[in-house]
Amino acid sequence: MNIYRSHVLICGGTGCTSSKSDKLQEKFEKLLVEKELDKEVKVVRTGCFGLCEAGPIIIVYPEGSFYSQVKIDDVEEIIEEHLLKGRIVKRLLFKDAIVEDIVKSVDEVDFYKKQKRIALKNCGVINPEDIDEYIALDGYLALGKALTEMTPEEVIETVKDSGLRGRGGGGFPTGLKWGFTAKAEGNQKYVLCNADEGDPGAFMDRSILEGDPHSVIEAMALAGYAIGSNQGYVYIRAEYPIAVERLQIAINQAREKGLLGKNIFGSDFDFDMEIRLGAGAFVCGEETALIASIEGERGMPRNKPPYPANKGLWQKPTLINNVETYANVAQIILHGADWFKEMGTEKSPGTKVFALGGKINNTGLIEIPMGTTLREVIYEVGGGIPNGKKFKAVQTGGPSGGCITSESLDTPIDFDSLTSIGSMMGSGGMIVMDEDDCMVDIARFFLDFTVEESCGKCPPCRIGTKRMLEILEKITSGKGEPEDLDRLERLAENIKVSSLCGLGQTAPNPVLSTLKHFRHEYEAHVNEKRCPFPHLRINSI
C-alpha cells in the first residue's frame, strides 16, 4: 500500500461533473505521471462537497486548500506551485478561503462552520466507488454490531429511542414504522428505499447516493435484519445516471465482500438488494405509487389503509424510507440513540440536509442541526442575497410547501415550527427569493409543475389544480377579475381536503401562502393589469 504525502480530492457530483471535473481528474493524473509525482500524490474523485456555486471544486490535503471554479489550464499551475513547491495558488482559492492574505482550510470556511454532517459525513471525503474507503471510516461496523451483539428488537428500539423522523417530507417516526412492519404477519417482507427525488431544485438524495452509496446499503441491511426481510429495492429515477452507476458498483462490491447475500458476518441473516429505475414521475415519490411502479403498474397512489407496513409490495409487509433517512441509521446504531438526540431539538432530533438555491450567494447542499434558524441558514451559511438585494421570501418544501417571509426568519428549522408558519420541511428544497421576484409568478410556476405531475387518478387533483392554474394564467396575463382571487382560494381549500394523496393535498400550498403574505401583488395584477416588477411587466389589456 502506498503512503501519499498529498491527496487531491476532485468533486465528482453531478454539478461539478457537468463543469468537466472528470477532465480535471484526467489532466491531474496525466501530469502527475509525467512529473513522476504519481507515487507521492493521489487523486481521488469524491462525491459532492456541497458548495455547488464554487464548482468545479478541488481540495488539496493535508493543507485543506479549497480551490474553486478550477479550469483545465489551472491544473499545471496547481501541480507546479502547490504540489512541487509547496506554495498555495491563492488566486484560485474560494473567495472566503482567503482573508487579508491569511489562507483558511476548507473546514474554516463560513459555509461549513455551522454545518454538522451525519447523512453527508462521507460526501466529498471518500471515493464512493471504493468500498475499502467506506470501511476505513467505520463503514459496515454498525451492521456487524447489530448482527453480533443486538437482537432485531434492540435495533428497532435504538432507532425508536433516537427520535429519528422520516426525512422524505412526512416526518413520521422511523422507529415506529420499523416496528409496525416487524410485527406485520407475512412470510416475505421487503425493504424499499425511495430515491425518487423530484422537487424542483432538490438534489439531496441524489448527492448522498453519488457520494456515499454504502451508507444506504448498510442501513437497508440493518432494516432488513430488524424487520425480518431478506430483500431490498432502491427505487431511483433513471435521470440520475451517476447515482445509479455508483450505487450499482457499491452493491456489487458489498456482495463481493460478503456484506450482501447469504450468512452476512457469519450469521444466519441473508439480505440482498436490487435497483429499480423510475421514469421520473414526481407522483412516484408517494409510497403507494412507488410500489405500483415497481410492480410494473402505472405509478398511481392507492387508498390507505391498508398501509405498506401491512400490505405493500406484492401485498407483502413493506418498509419504505427515503435516502436521507437511511443515511442516518448506521451512525445511530454505531453511536447510540442518546448521541443522536444531542443534536437538534426535542421533537426533531438530528440534522437535516437542504438544497439551498435561488437568490443566494452560496448555492449548494448543506446539512444543519435541527433548530438552526432560517436567518442563520440564509445569511451565515448561505452568505446572504446577491447584489445587495433585499430578502423577500424563502420557499421550503418545494411544490408542497409555502413561502416564508422576513417576519419569520428567526423561526427554528424543524418539522413542527415550519408547519406552524404555513410551510413544511418537505424533502429539503429551500429556494430563496429577493425583492425582484413576483410571488404570483412563483405560485404559478409551482402549480404548473404539480399539474404536469398529477397522475390523474382523483378528480380534485386532476381537474382542480388545472382550474387553479387557468385562473393564475388569466391573472398573470392581465385578464384577471377581483372575484378570481376568492375563486382561487375556495378551489385551493377544497382540493386540500378532497385529494387522494399528498401531491394533491399539498398542491395548493404555494398559492395559499403567497395569497396570504403577498395579496397586494395579486391585486396589482387584477386591478391595475400589471406586474409590480418592471422586468416582468405585462401589457395592459
For residues 42 and 39, give the distance between their C-alpha atoms in angstroms, rounded to a whole number.
Answer: 7
SS3 call for 191: strand
For residues 61 and 106, give the distance between their C-alpha atoms in angstroms, rounded to a whole number.
Answer: 10
Task: Using a pLDDT cut of 70, give the percent of the chain over it.
Answer: 98
Q: Where are the domains of the chain?
A: 6-109, 131-341, 351-433, 439-536
DSSP letter for 291, please.
H
Provide the pLDDT for residue 198. Answer: 84
CATH class of the domain comprising 6-109: alpha beta
Tell me the pLDDT tens digit for each residue of 368-399. 999 999 999 999 999 999 999 999 999 998 88
pLDDT for 533 beyond 90:
no
Residue 238's contacts (CB-CB under 8 Å, 6 or more residues apart) are 244, 277, 278, 279, 280
Tell me the pLDDT tens digit for each residue of 307-331. 999 999 999 999 999 999 999 999 9
pLDDT for 450 beyond 60:
yes
pLDDT for 276 beyond 50:
yes
For residues 344 and 512, give the distance between their C-alpha atoms in angstroms, rounded to a whole number.
Answer: 29
Confidence of residue 535 (pLDDT cuts 50, 70, 90): low
Provide the pLDDT for residue 128. Answer: 98
Provide the pLDDT for residue 120. Answer: 97
Fold exhibited by the domain 131-341: Rossmann fold (3.40.50)
Contact call for residues 48 and 245 (beta carbons, < 8 A): no
Partner residues linked to 165 by β-bridges:
173
Tell me the pLDDT tens digit for each residue of 417-436. 998 888 888 888 899 999 99
For residues 363 and 434, give the distance between their C-alpha atoms in angstroms, rounded to a whole number.
Answer: 14
Q: Is the CATH number 1.10.3720.10 carried by domain 439-536?
A: no
The mean pLDDT of 159-187, rounded to a whole number, is 95
Q: Show the DSSP H helices in 184-240 as ranges.
A: 204-211, 213-227
Tell me the pLDDT tens digit for each residue of 240-251. 999 999 999 999
- Report helix angle 213-227 to 152-162, nearest 10: 120
pLDDT for 536 beyond 60:
no
Provide the pLDDT for residue 312. Answer: 97
Average pLDDT, the chain: 94
CATH of 351-433, one of 3.30.70.1140, 2.60.200.20, 3.30.2010.10, 3.10.20.600: 3.10.20.600
Contact call for residues 61 and 105 (beta carbons, < 8 A): no
**Identical topology for domains 131-341 and 439-536:** no
For residues 46 and 127, give the distance between their C-alpha atoms in angstroms, rounded to a whole number.
Answer: 5
- Verdict on whether the full-model pTM lies above 0.85: yes
Tell me the pLDDT tens digit for each residue of 73-131. 999 999 999 999 999 999 999 999 998 888 999 989 999 998 999 999 999 999 999 99
Tell me the pLDDT tens digit for each residue of 26-61. 999 999 999 999 999 999 999 999 999 999 999 999
For residues 52 and 21, give the distance between their C-alpha atoms in angstroms, rounded to a whole number.
Answer: 12
Preceding peptide of 534 cis, ω within 30° = no
Tell me the pLDDT tens digit for each residue of 455-510. 999 999 999 999 999 999 999 999 999 999 999 999 999 999 999 999 999 999 99
For residues 378 and 80, give the distance between their C-alpha atoms in angstroms, rounded to a whole number.
Answer: 38
Provide the pLDDT for residue 265. Answer: 96
